[in-house]
Amino acid sequence: MKRILHVVTNVAHYDDPTHPTGLWLSELTHAWDIFAAEGHEQHLVSPQGGRSPLEPRALKWPLLDASARAWRDDPARMALLEQTTAPDRIDPAAYDAIYFTGGHGVMWDFPDSDGLQNLTRAIWEQGGVVGAVCHGYCGLLNTRLSDGSLLVAGRHITGFSWREEILAGVSKAMPFNAETEMVNRGALYQKALLPFVSHVVTDGRLVTGQNPSSAKATAKAVSRLLQG
C-alpha cells in the first residue's frame, strides 16, 4: 500500500466573480478510483485548506461520467472536499506521491503556493512520484528543488494546451498562458496532435496528462511507477 496526496483548488471563480470555476471533478475521481482499487491510502490537500469548489462545466453531460457522478452523489466523499487539509499540516515524509488535479481555478492558487511547493520538493527529493493532469501542471511552474533549479526545467511535460484554451472559449479570461510559461521555465512541453484527446508524458518520476481525457491514463502511469 502506498500513500498518495491529491492537490485540489480553493478558487471558486475567475477574476470575474460571476464566472465560476473550481476543481474538474473527474480529474480527481478517475485517479482516486484507480488508486483505491489498488488499496492505496489517499488524502486531499489544497493551498489554503478547507473547501474545494467544483467546476460547474464538469458537472454536466457528457462530462459528468459515472465516476464523477458517484462522487457527487456520495455525501461522505463530498464532505472530503469541504474539509481539505492545508499544506502546513501535511508531513511529506508520509507520502509516496503527490498528484495535482485541474480545473481552471488552479491557475490562480497553485503556482505561487509556498506550501504546495514545499510538499512537492520534499516528496520528489525523497524519491516519490509527482503527477499532474490538465491544468494541474500549473502547480509545478515555480517549484524549485533544494539546489535552486526548477523541477520542470529540462523535463518532458504536458498539460492543457493554449489551443485547447482557445477552443474551450476561455483563453481571454486566463491569467496567463500555461503552455508558454512552462516553456519559459525550460520545460520540454509536448502535446497531442489533436486537442482534447488523451496524452500522457512520463519523464522518470514525473507524470503529466494533457487534459481531462487523460486523467485515467495519467493515474495508471503513476500507479505503474508506485508498483515499481
Centre a 10 Å sphere on the Cβ of residue 72 and count the other Cβ atoms it contains: 17
Task: Supply the DSSP symbol for 94.
Answer: G
Closest CA to 31 of 1, 83, 62, 67: 67
DSSP helix/strand/coil, 77: helix
Residue positions annotated with a catalytic role: 134-135, 165
Sequence-distant (≥ 6) Cβ neighbours of residue 79 within 8 angstroms: none
Set of cell numbers at residue 57: 462545466
User: How many CA atoms lie within 13 Å of 69's alpha carbon, on the beta-carbon side?
Assistant: 7
Centre a 10 Å sphere on the Cβ of residue 39 and count the other Cβ atoms it contains: 8
Sequence-distant (≥ 6) Cβ neighbours of residue 121 within 8 angstroms: 143, 144, 145, 146, 151
User: How many CA atoms lie within 13 Å of 219's alpha carbon, on the beta-carbon side?
Assistant: 23
Question: For residue 102, is it left (φ>0), alpha (ψ between -120 and 50) or beta?
Answer: beta
